[in-house]
Every structure is written in C-alpha cells, then in structure tokens.
Structure 1
Amino acid sequence: MAGAIGRAAVRALYAELALHPKPGLVSPLDSGSHDDMDMGTFLRSLFALRGYFRAIAAAGAEGADFPTLRELGITAERRMLAATGGVNTHRGAVFGLGLLAAAAGWRMRRGRTLRGNGLGATAAALWGAGILAAAPQAPDSHGARAVTRYGARGARQEAADGFPTLFEVALPALDRALAAGADPERASVQALFSLMAVLEDTNLLHRGGPAGLAFIQAGARRFLDRGGVFHAEWRDEALALHRACVVRRLSPGGSADMLAAAQFVHGLRERAA
C-alpha cells in the first residue's frame, strides 16, 4: 500500500514536470524563469525523494503525529538539497504532497474512500492543529517571507484547512476537462490555469509582488474566458503567457505544486476505482 502511494506521488511530480506549456515553469523544453534549475535538476530531486513518499505514507497508515511526519519531511528536504546542489526544487511538494500521501496511507489502511475531499479532511483532522502550532520549517524561505509581508494564506494554512484549493478548484477543473474530452495533457494545462487564476501564490509574490501575482491571475483568467484548452489556439496563447512570464521572471510555483497534488489524488482515485 505505502509503495503504491509513493509511486503515485513520484508519477504525479514527473507528470507535472513533463507538462508543457507551463508559464514561467521548468519543463522539458526550457527552464522558464529559472536560472538555477532545469529538468535534470528536477529529475535528480525526484530520484532522491522516492523513498520519502513511501515512508510518509507508511507513517500516516500507522497514525503518526505531525512532529513525526515533519521529521520525515526535514530528512527528505536534506536529501533533495544534497541531490540538487542546494537548489529548492520540491520543498512545496515535500510538505503538501507528503501530507496527502500520509492521509492516503491512513485512509487506505482503514478502508476509507479516496473520493470527495476525504484526503484533505483527514489531513486537517489529524494534523491541522500541529501544522499551525509548529514553527515554519524554513522561516526564511521565499514563501514564508511572502506570507509575513503580504498576509498571504500560504501552504501551511492551506494544508491545515484541508487543501480547499486542491479539492474545490484544481481537481474539479481536471475532472471537467477530462469529462469534456480533453487528453491528460490538455486537462492538466486547464487545471494549472484554473489554479493560476485564483491561487495566492507565494512564489509569485516573492518574485513579482502583488503586481506580479495580479499579472498572472489576469492572464490565466483571459485564457480560461476564451475557452481554455478547448480554444483552437490555446497552445499559442499559453506560450505567449509563458514568454511574458520569462521576461518578467515570474514563476507560479505554488500552482505547479497544487497541480502535482491534483494529479496525485486523481491517480489514486483511478487506481482505487
């Protein structure tokens, strides 16, 4: 069980990495707005994290408390940084996707459904208070500084609340696009732009402040209002926003993390059906 959850997490992270176009983000075609990382950096990080998602799923199945999960995450982050030469490729995924993997372990061990928002509800019920009570793991990180400076919700609040943006925005957008006939690539782009349109992305706030966040949100909304991936010229429009992000050095990393989480939950549901 834990092994299957771990493999699903790695598959989801790889699917997010391989997707293109993704405005400002690293993909197989280019490094987006990043000078310090490329696809190879992400692949080294993924290799280093394989055992982590299996381990945290197993810990979740046993009902581990948040400090135990946190220690697993700290150890995983150290492995990630060692593999990438100090580059933060997957800190957000170590935290958010790790908690979802732990919740999946807990629910699957007890025969609970993975449908609906069960994974988020489990994460909030079991570990929400611990998440908010603990000091930020990386208080000087870009995301933590954006939360303090701009009053953004941030990943910790999102997780403590049961990942509402994941279950109310990302997964419904992914499911609707697939149901309407989109292939997995187009459905993933649709989900990504749906996230970019609403998420208070701390990575964008760090790189571009409120103006940078507003630029991305407005661009994503225009893309969706014109039909999203069901518009004949969707790829050209997405690439235009990508180029604009590169010029402005903007990268919606929070939306990318949330997309990987959506792909993880969707994959688990499909295999459990």
Structure 2
Amino acid sequence: MRNDDCVRYIGSKAVEAMLMEAVCAPAPGLVDRYNSGAHTDMDIFTFMRSTAALGPAMHSCAACGYGHEENPRALLQRIRPIGRQAEADMFAATGGVNTQKGLLFVMGIMCAAAGAVYHERLGSEGAVTAEQILGYVKEMGRHLVAQELEAMQLAEKDMTAGQRLFKQYGIRGIRGEVEDGLPAVLYTGLPAYKAAKKAGVSDDVMLLHTLLALMTVTEDTTIVHRHNPQQLRDVQADAQRIMSLGGALTEEGFQAIVDLDASYSSRRISPGGSADLLAVTHFLYEVTA
C-alpha cells in the first residue's frame, strides 16, 4: 500500500470507528442514535460534528506515524501539537462541549502507531497484527504515567480530570492503559468483538456486546469523575452479570442491556472510557483484519 493510500486508510478507519461507537444502541448511559443517555449537554448530532472536526487530525497522526523514523516515544511528542489543535477544533464544532477529548487522545495514538507499523512492515510478508500495533503503542506510552501523573506539580484548578483522579485515588485511567499497551482492548475487547463477528450478528449487537465486555474491566475515569470508585465497581459488576447471560448475543442479555440503559440514563452514569475503548477495538480490528 502506498504512503498516501495507507494514511487515508488508517485515518478513514479511525473516523469510521468513532462514528460506529457513537451510533450503536442502546448503549447504557451513553449518547447514541436513540437518546442522549446520561448527558444533557450533547446528542448524536453533537457527536457527528465532533467526529467530523477530529477527522483531519486522525489522518495527520497516521501520516506522522508513517513518516516517523525515531524511537516510538518521540512520536508521541510529535503528535501532541496535532492533538491540541484538534481539541480546539472539537470545542469549536460543539460549542464548547467535551464530546470526545479522551477518544482524541487514544485514537490519535492508535493512528500514529498504526502508521508507523504499516511503514515498518512495508514489503514484509503477512498482515499487520493487533499485537504489533499495540506493542508500538506500549513503546509510545513508556513512562507516561510517571511523567504526566506521578511527577505533576499542578494546582488543583489546573489539573485535568484524569490528573485529579490519580492524585485522589491512584487511578491511572487511559494513560495507564496506553502505557500497558491497551490490555483491555487486546484481551477483552477484541475477543468479544471477534466472537460476536463469528456469531454473524448485526453491527449494533456486535458493538454492544463488545462494549459490555469492556465495561467489565475498564478503569473508567468518566464514571469515577461523575461519581466515585464504588460506582465504577458497581458498573463492572453490572456488566459482568450481563456477560454471564450471554451479553448482547442472547435475548436475555440484550434485554438486560436495554434495562441498564434506562437505569444509567436516569442515574447519570456514563461509561465513557469503555466507549472510547470500543472505538479503539473496532479500529484495531479493521486495520489488522
């Protein structure tokens, strides 16, 4: 695949993944094509505008990765300015609403890593694998928690939600997940996605099944930020219970997801971190299938 073809492919698959995550329904507590879930300041149209605004950054991150020849950690620094501009574009498109800031962070890294691995394997036998891309992500994120969370010396008012939760509870969030090479995606998200794909279900059911699987393990800072660590444990237990019913692949499990959506929406519980990893899972499957 030529340079420009590769970059276009990776960037378009990132946008596809962001859209697929946004519309799958009924996603418990999340904005989807049916309702706004636990949110009062955004709807599915806000997400469409946000994703459109972030699309160019996904292509730019892929291009950065494809042309990168230094160590992976240096690539993370190269894409930082792209992320800052994209964040400003997102807020401009949504009227100041934070729809996908966390997803911008992790999907930008994924696009850059995919671009780098595709370039590294140019002319090699065999397809690019999920393990290769996530191995590169792990190298990009080396010492990320120590540098951005443990070593921080910021006033409370200047901290991001993730930094605040690390200081208060020791929760590493998406930075820790990236530093570890996204194990939730590799060991939970992808197996659930592939099992649903093999079962021949609709995209909706496949994505919901994967979302519930991810909710069982994700250290979801969106939930803790809105509530507390106990609520996160309760969400993980809810998801585990539904997966024991067969997840979205059984009638009983699917009905439990419908009921959970109503419950989480009324109680303002939003598993946004799991939603971000759902998009990453779809992206990773598509660029390695």
Q: Aligned residue for 1:5?
A: 10
- Once the 2 structures are TM-superposed, how far is the Cα of residue 132 of structure 1 from its aligned partner? 4.6
Higher mean C-alpha displacement, 123-132 vs 200-209: 123-132
The alignment status of 1:93 with 2:98, answered yes or no, reads: no
Q: Aligned residue for 1:103?
A: 113
Q: Aligned residue for 2:51?
A: 46
Gaps of 5+ in 2: 1-5, 69-73
Which of 103, 124, 133 pairs up with 2:147?
Answer: 133
Which of 275, 279, 284 pairs up with 1:256?
Answer: 275
User: 5 Å matches for 1:143-158?
Assistant: 143-158=162-177
Residue identity matched to 1:43: M
Q: Aligned residue for 1:236?
A: 255
- Once the 2 structures are TM-superposed, how far is the Cα of residue 211 of structure 1 from its aligned partner? 2.5
d(CA) in 2 for partners of 1:104, 1:156:
18
Q: Any conservation in 1 of the 2:138–2:178 contact (CA below 8 Å)?
A: yes
Q: Any conservation in 1 of the 2:130–2:285 contact (CA below 8 Å)?
A: no
Higher mean C-alpha displacement, 213-222 vs 45-54: 213-222
**Aligned residues, how many?**
270
Identity among equivalent positions (%) equals: 35
Q: Aligned residue for 2:87?
A: 77
Question: Normalised by the size of structure 2, how large is the TM-score?
Answer: 0.88
SS of structure 2 residue aligned to 1:117: helix
Q: CA RMSD in A?
A: 2.0
Q: Any conservation in 2 of the 1:66–1:130 contact (CA below 8 Å)?
A: no
Residue identity matched to 1:248: R
Which of 57, 68, 76 pairs up with 1:66?
Answer: 76
SS of structure 1 residue aligned to 2:47: helix
Question: Normalised by the size of structure 1, how large is the TM-score?
Answer: 0.93
d(CA) in 2 for partners of 1:229, 1:130:
35
Q: Aligned residue for 2:132?
A: 118
d(CA) in 2 for partners of 1:151, 1:42:
30
d(CA) in 2 for partners of 1:203, 1:269:
29
Q: Any conservation in 2 of the 1:166–1:258 contact (CA below 8 Å)?
A: yes
String of CA shifts for 1:164-197, please: whole Å, max 9, x gaps: 1111111111112212333322121111001111
